[in-house]
Chains A and B, each alone.
Chain A
């Protein structure tokens, strides 16, 4: 037991570095995903003219694909697709792109839920006083949507942190990859995996408390 702890503590700077990368990837992905999710929501809620309907269909197919295929396959797919079209990006960048494209799809679904909670009268009122479309979205709809879906957005952030280990297949040296490397180097597996499991657990459990806090705030 104490031997295990000693061997883990011996490498703690590496774990810190890995943790830093995990958080960096997750935060970057979640910020880009927020933009993608918002964009998809705006595209989706357009009028009923023909181009709008086509756009809506495309967005629906995109979201369905993102939600219907494993993130692992998406990560590989995007890594390969980027190199085929001639963009030789680093594993880190294409990993962030894959994560944010994935999370963006989920985000769009979450935000649709928030959008439908806004009373129709508000949008009509804004149009009646002559607000432009851009102003309507940035001043009336989006602020309320974000307020409504704040707990779900935090849960989505937890999800992103939980899928970030999959970037280790692209050799992004985040927390899980660090552990894998150490396992190969030292030949002992369990202590390292337990150590990173505890680290992930602490982060996710704290964020879950934040979700609960946000939910309580919303009810009051």
Chain B
């Protein structure tokens, strides 16, 4: 038992600096991907609630394609497909791009359902007062939606952090990739994977905690 403890300590001492490097890359990728997803998802969500049938259809197909295929397959397709289209970027940016696109489909659905859940009277009243469409959306509809959809957006962001682990298959040096590297050095996969799991868990608990704080604050304002 004592020997096992010693091995544990030894392994974690080598592992943790390596994993911390991975944690930073994971956070970097997730933040960039979430930013991209908010932009793309915002556009797609806007298209979904517009009156233009064509735009609605296009956004619908975009969302359906990204939601109904496994992320791993999308990653492979992006990894092999982007260079063929003449877009020659590093694995890191390929990862950011595909993770952002994938998340944006979910963000779009969350935004769409959030705005649809508002009562019709809100937008009608705004139009009746002579507000333009953009102004209605920006001033009336979105502020009300944001506080409602924060929990689902948080869930999606946690999912994004977790999905970033799949980028290890295209050699992005994030947490899971670094885990494999640490195993190559220490030869004790179980302990290293446990460390990796704990790191992911910690990141996601922080996200969850922050979102609960924001939610609480919002509730206080609205009451």
Residues of A within 8 A of B (CB): 64-65, 67-74, 76-77, 80-81, 84, 161-166, 168-169, 176, 179-180, 189-190, 193-194, 196-197, 200-201, 204-205, 208
CA distance A189 to B83 in the complex (A): 12
Residues of B within 8 A of A (CB): 64-65, 67-74, 76-77, 80-81, 84, 158, 161-166, 168-169, 176, 179, 189-190, 193-194, 196-197, 200-201, 204-205, 208
Task: Find out whether the CB atom of A68 lies under 8 angstroms from the CB atom of B200.
Answer: yes
**The residue from A71, A73, A166, A179 contacting B179, defined by CB atoms under 8 A apart:** A73
**Distance to closest chain A CB from B41 (angstroms):** 18
Sample 16 A-B pairs with CB under 8 A, ordered by A number: A68-B201, A70-B162, A70-B163, A70-B166, A70-B176, A77-B194, A161-B70, A163-B70, A165-B73, A176-B70, A176-B72, A189-B76, A189-B80, A193-B73, A197-B77, A201-B69
Q: How many A-B residue pairs have CB under 8 A?
A: 102
Residues of A within 8 A of B162 (CB): 68-71
Task: Find out whether the CB atom of B68 lies under 8 angstroms from the CB atom of A205.
Answer: yes
Residues of B within 8 A of A168 (CB): 72
Decide if the interface of chain A is mainly helix, strand, loop or mixed: helix
**Distance to closest chain A CB from B169 (angstroms):** 8
Residues of A within 8 A of B161 (CB): 70
Q: B70, B194, B197: which has the most chain A beta carbons within 10 Å?
A: B70
**Distance to closest chain B CB from A196 (angstroms):** 6
The chain B residue sitting closest to A194, CB to CB, is B77
Task: Find out whether the CB atom of A76 lies under 8 angstroms from the CB atom of B193.
Answer: yes
Q: A165-B70, A201-B65 are in contact. Are A70 and B201 (CB under 8 A)?
A: no
User: Top 4 nearest A-B pairs by Cβ distance?
Assistant: A70-B165, A204-B68, A189-B80, A70-B162
Task: Find out whether the CB atom of A193 lies under 8 angstroms from the CB atom of B80.
Answer: yes
Residues of B within 8 A of A169 (CB): 169
Task: Find out whether the CB atom of A77 lies under 8 angstroms from the CB atom of B190.
Answer: yes
CA distance A73 to B64 in the complex (A): 27
CA distance A177 to B57 in the complex (A): 33
Task: Find out whether the CB atom of A193 lies under 8 angstroms from the CB atom of B76.
Answer: yes
Task: Find out whether the CB atom of A165 lies under 8 angstroms from the CB atom of B189.
Answer: no
**The residue from A65, A162, A180 contacting B70, defined by CB atoms under 8 A apart:** A162
CA distance A163 to B65 in the complex (A): 16
**Distance to closest chain B CB from A163 (angstroms):** 7
